[in-house]
Amino acid sequence: MPNHAIFLDRDGTLNEDPGYISNPDKVVLFPDTGEALSLLKKYGFLLIIISNQSGIARGKITNKEVDAVNSRINSLLSEYKVKVDAFYYCPAHPDYNSDEECDCRKPSPKLVFEAVKEFDIDLEKSYFIGDAVSDIQCGKNAGIKTILVRTGKGEESFSILQKENNFPTFVADNLLNACNFILADI
């Protein structure tokens, strides 16, 4: 039987986004992140991060530093007895890389489809949560329900989506609010 998943943006959705986090000790989860992810896990959702990490292409961070930050996120989440099942990220940026190298960048659904293949995920029973326009577009491009959180760039993104008449399935104040929407929807 296929799995269902919550695809999540990382910076601005799970944790504060100071820009190009390279030091794992600087990771600060939003207050409701652990509780929300723990609740989703209890309902059997896989938790999969889909993230653009263009700081790698820009020379501001390394793959090793991104991996260390991801590891730190799981370490902080262990307090809530939950962990992210997989981290997928695109290191490319159009100013530094070819179109082909950038084909994994959100709003492209390429990384979502890689996770679907790896984890046998049913997209009809899955959701994409993020704080940016590219997150919502990625989820829509993958054919899944989308939730914009007002944390991170969420307020600014909502204005852009509103002007484009390109609304997410749901808008949430934070990750816990998004989680409650999902649990009411399943």
pLDDT digits (tens, 9 = 90+) for 61-79: 999 999 999 999 999 999 9
Query: What is the tens place of the pLDDT at every residue in 89-121?
Result: 999 999 999 999 999 999 999 999 999 999 999
- State the first-to-last Cα distance of the chain, in angstroms, to the nearest integer: 17
Instruction: Tell me, yes or no, if 11 is annotated catalytic.
Output: yes
* Residue among 11, 85, 131, 135 flagged as catalytic: 11
Q: What's the pLDDT band for 161 if we cut at 50, 70, 90?
A: very high
SS3 160: helix
**Res 1 pLDDT > 80:** no
- Say whether the peptide bond before residue 2 is cis (omega within 30 degrees of 0): no
| CATH number of this structure's domain 5-185 | 3.40.50.1000
Q: What pTM was computed for the model?
A: 0.96
Specify whether 9 is catalytic. yes
Mean pLDDT of all residues in 6-10: 98
